[in-house]
Structures are given as structure tokens and as C-alpha cells.
Amino acid sequence: MQEISIDQRIVTDMYDDALRRLTNTPEVDGSMVRPICLPLSGVPVYANHRMSVSKTSHLLSKAESPVVLSEENHCSQSYKLCICRETVHTNCVVE
């Protein structure tokens, strides 16, 4: 496990959650880490990261986030995870 501090929070209008720029380049094992919630368009510098991440990356592609159980009716389908921002539940992501 690597502990790396956040250098910059990158906010886009496309998502409620921001990308994070890390202070150091982490070691990324493609079998263990997968990119999530990257913009599909509108931010050209990140568009090429949506399908793959190199062995090292300054972009945080995965982070801890509260998870809402489907029994609480926040996610309409049980195969999705809802990530939360404070008390607002947004961005259901297929996992």
C-alpha cells in the first residue's frame, strides 16, 4: 500500500467528484487498479486516460468513498455502487 498526499483537486462540470493530482507518482499495477469516473469528453488532457492507465500516473483513479447499500433504495439496480458527496447520492457506477 502506498500513501501519497494530494497536490491538487481538479474539478470538472461533468462530475460531482473531482480528480486528484498526486504529489508523487505511484506504482500502478494494472491488475489491481482500474480508472473510474474519468470524463469521456470536454477535458482533452484526461480523455486518453479513460481506457487505460500507464504503470505510473499522477492522476488518482481510485479513492475511498462512502457506499450506499441497494437496500436503502439509493441505487435502482443492485449491480451498481453509488458514491456520495456529503448527503447527496450521485454517480451510480457499474462495478
Residue 89 maps to a domain: yes
Residue 12 maps to a domain: yes
Edge-to-edge order in the sheet of strand 59-60: 6-10, 19-22, 59-60
pLDDT > 90: percent of the chain: 0
Residue 40 maps to a domain: yes
The phi and psi torsions of 83 (rounded to 5 degrees) equal -95, 150
Q: Which domain holds residue 45?
A: 6-94
Give the start-end residues of each E strand in 2-95: 6-10, 19-22, 59-60, 80-85, 88-94
Residue 52 maps to a domain: yes
The answer to whether the pTM exceeds 0.85 is no
Residue 66 maps to a domain: yes
pLDDT digits (tens, 9 = 90+) for 15-59: 556 667 778 777 766 666 555 544 444 555 544 544 454 555 555
Residue 1 maps to a domain: no
The structural domain count of the chain equals 1
Q: Average pLDDT of the chain? A: 57
Pick from 8, 14, 9: nearest CA to 39: 14
